[in-house]
Amino acid sequence: MCQLIHNNVEITACNVFEIRASLIFTVFSSLASYLVLIIQLHIQ
């Protein structure tokens, strides 16, 4: 059990860059900003 706690799992995109929580947050926040912009332009 102790080996599982100390084992760090690294998730990568084709071994090019590591996918971390900060990357996922950045992608979702950028997508949300883009959607808000598109909705505002569509309303006008």
Closest by Cα among 38, 17, 16, 39 to 26: 17
Q: Express each pLDDT in 1-37 by its tens digit.
A: 555 566 677 888 888 888 888 889 999 999 999 999 9
More confident residue, 24 or 44: 24
Q: Give the DSSP H or E segment for 12.
A: strand 12-13
Q: Which pLDDT score, from 0 to 100, does residue 11 have?
A: 84
Report how far residue 17's alpha carbon sits from residue 15's, in angstroms, rounded to the nearest whole number: 6
Higher-confidence position of 9 and 42: 42
Count of CA atoms in the C-beta half-sphere (13 A) of 30: 6
